[in-house]
């Protein structure tokens, strides 16, 4: 369980004066990402990250005071900005969305998201960051539902946010219970068919 060999990279890196060294931030985030990829969650300790990045622990704690803060930083660094693609029918748009997130969540970078949700259960700062992120993603998803609503695709009385939440919730649950091998299109149907005009 102790793997002290070659844990450090890059020859040297010193202070560049009385201002923050971008290379340090870079090295630390990269180290965190690598550790996550190589040793999983348990491998991501402040100690190990500092070692691998050849950074002082003091430096690390200065910029990322908690493990949660580091997790969030790593996630925000690795996630691309997914823009929903309007496929004409809501069902296809959502199927594409499911397909995309499931694929991403399966990657080492994407797995961080599950860890963030987990960490949020015991770290208030992470919980707050997660909540902001959830609201942001919910809003864009609700917007997509809005497009469909405007097209008259959905039955009367649908609230975009409510439906968007159901769409998100099912994805999150699949993530938390390790069932990302789902058929995205089938899942989209299971969640949406009830709300689409003419599907009854």
Partner DNA sequence: ACATAACGAAACGCACCGTTCCCTTTGGAG
Partner DNA sequence: CTCCAAAGGGAACGGTGCGTTTCGTTATGT
- Whether residue 197 contacts residue 155, with contact meaning beta carbons closer than 8 Å, is answered with yes
Pick the stretch among 20-28, 79-87, 97-105, 166-174 that binds a second copy (CB under 8 A): 166-174
> Which residue, 27 or 129, has its beta carbon nearer to a second copy?
129
CA–chain centroid gap for 10, Å, is 28
**Shortest separation between residue 31's beta carbon and a second copy, angstroms:** 20
Residue 39 burial class via C-beta count within 10 angstroms: exposed 0-12, middle 13-18, buried 19 and up: middle
Q: How many residues bind a second copy (CB under 8 A)?
A: 40
How far is CA 27 from each of CA 9, 17, 59, 118, rounded to the nearest angstrom? Answer: 9, 18, 12, 25
The answer to the question of residue 41 lying near a second copy (CB under 8 A) is yes
Give the nearer residue to a second copy in terms of CB position, either 25 or 117.
117
Provide the b/e sequence for 170-194 (b: ≥16 CB within 10 Å).
bbeebbeeeebeeebeebbbebbee
Q: Which two tokens stand for residue 79?
A: 């996630």
In the complex, minimum distance from the CB of residue 130 to DNA, in angstroms, rounded to a whole number: 18
The entry of DNA, a second copy, none near residue 24 (CB within 5 to 8 angstroms by kind) is DNA
Applying the rule CB under 8 A, the residues between 120 and 139 that interact with a second copy are 120-122, 127, 130-131, 134
**Cβ atoms < 10 Å from Cβ of 70:** 21
C-alpha 193: how far from its chain's center? 27
Question: Could you say whether residue 25 binds DNA (CB under 7 A)?
Answer: yes
Q: Please give the residue ranges that form the binding site for DNA (CB under 7 A).
A: 1-2, 13-21, 24-25, 27, 45-48, 53-59, 61-63, 65-67
The residue ranges that bind a second copy (CB under 8 A) are 40-42, 114-115, 117-122, 127, 130-131, 134, 155-159, 162-163, 165-166, 168-170, 172-173, 176-178, 190-191, 193-195, 197, 199-200
């Amino acid at each position: 369980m102790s793997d002290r060999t070659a844990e450090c990279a890059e020859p040297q890196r010193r202070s560049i004066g009385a201002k923050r060294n971008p290379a340090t931030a870079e090295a630390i985030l990269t180290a965190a990402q690598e550790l996550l990829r190589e040793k999983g969650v348990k491998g991501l300790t402040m100690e190990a990250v500092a070692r691998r990045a050849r950074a002082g622990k003091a430096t690390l704690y200065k910029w990322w005071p908690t493990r949660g803060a580091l997790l969030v930083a790593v996630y925000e660094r690795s996630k691309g900005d997914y823009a929903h693609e309007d496929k004409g029918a809501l069902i296809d748009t959502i199927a594409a969305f499911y397909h995309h997130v499931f694929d991403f969540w399966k990657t080492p970078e994407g797995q961080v998201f599950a860890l963030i949700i987990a960490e949020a259960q015991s770290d208030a700062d992470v919980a707050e960051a997660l909540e902001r992120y959830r609201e942001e993603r919910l809003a864009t998803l609700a917007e997509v539902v809005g497009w469909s609503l405007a097209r008259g695709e959905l039955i009367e009385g649908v609230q975009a946010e409510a439906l968007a939440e159901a769409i998100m919730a099912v994805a999150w649950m699949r993530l938390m219970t390790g069932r990302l091998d789902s058929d995205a299109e089938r899942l989209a149907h299971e969640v949406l068919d009830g709300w689409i005009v003419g599907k009854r």
